[in-house]
Copies of this chain bind each other. A is one copy, B any other.
């Protein structure tokens, strides 16, 4: 399963970076191969200052070794070994009318002191963070999410859509990071699903990314915008930073397992602003977005 899934994410990285380069039409991804002292490593692909994409990364990694102390407490286990591999991507378009997107899929194993595997699970998802609300974009994104889910179980979309709304939530701001999508974790084998079923579902979701996002980017990347639109985008990007550094378990996991800092923090936007106590004008497009983020809604 380890090697099957790692092969999958290698191919997915290839497909996605090619599709994004084509859509960007200017810059190409720069590749960095890195090793982790305690075991494993990764292949980061970063794009900056493209025609369309201001900054983005599509990274894969596979790390293993003794589970760090801080993560033992987190998983409520003793001294164990672990293996984790996954693909993680974040795309920050230049145009404030085009949304930021994040997607991730991952596989985790844990071993006892005799190197026997004692646990294994899949996780992943994708979610959209617009700066201006185009309802048809949110609908399209969620339709693709639902389509992927429905291939596997009729309850999956609602369950994982709700988990996404709950997870990508800036509690200290009382607002969602974006308009959501899917989030799932700890998908283990049980009475209903084999681990192969979990693999199939996770990879279907991974495969859905291109169709879920690229058409949106394509529609919005050349829209007109004002300096005020750009300021709003940078202020909202600040909320993205707050979520990733304060609340995101993936970032935390990376920082605590001595992951490669530059690969983990590629998720942070290229330019960001923090204004004191900023409030959009009543009845504005900016306020319309905020209202949606305060009250996550159903899109399909």
Contact = CB atoms under 8 A, between A and B. Distances in A.
Contact of A269 (B173, B234, B245, B274): B274
A261 interface: yes
Interface residues of A, number: 28
Contact of A274 (B172, B173, B272, B275): B272
A238 B271 contact: no
Interface string A219-246: 0000000000000001000100110011
Contact of A275 (B32, B242, B255, B270): B270
Nearest to A92: B274
A193 interface: no
Contact of A272 (B32, B262, B272, B277): B272
Given A276-B55, A277-B32, A268 B46 contact: no
A270 B274 contact: yes
B48 A261 contact: no
Given A57-B276, A245-B241, A261 B32 contact: no
A187 B255 CA distance: 31
Nearest to A57: B276
Given A245-B241, A246-B255, A261-B173, A273 B276 contact: no
Contacts of A273: 270-272
Interface of A: 32, 46, 48, 55, 57, 172-173, 234, 238, 241-242, 245-246, 255, 261-262, 265-266, 268-277
Closest 9 CB pairs between A and B?
A245-B245, A268-B274, A262-B277, A272-B272, A46-B276, A172-B255, A245-B246, A271-B273, A172-B261
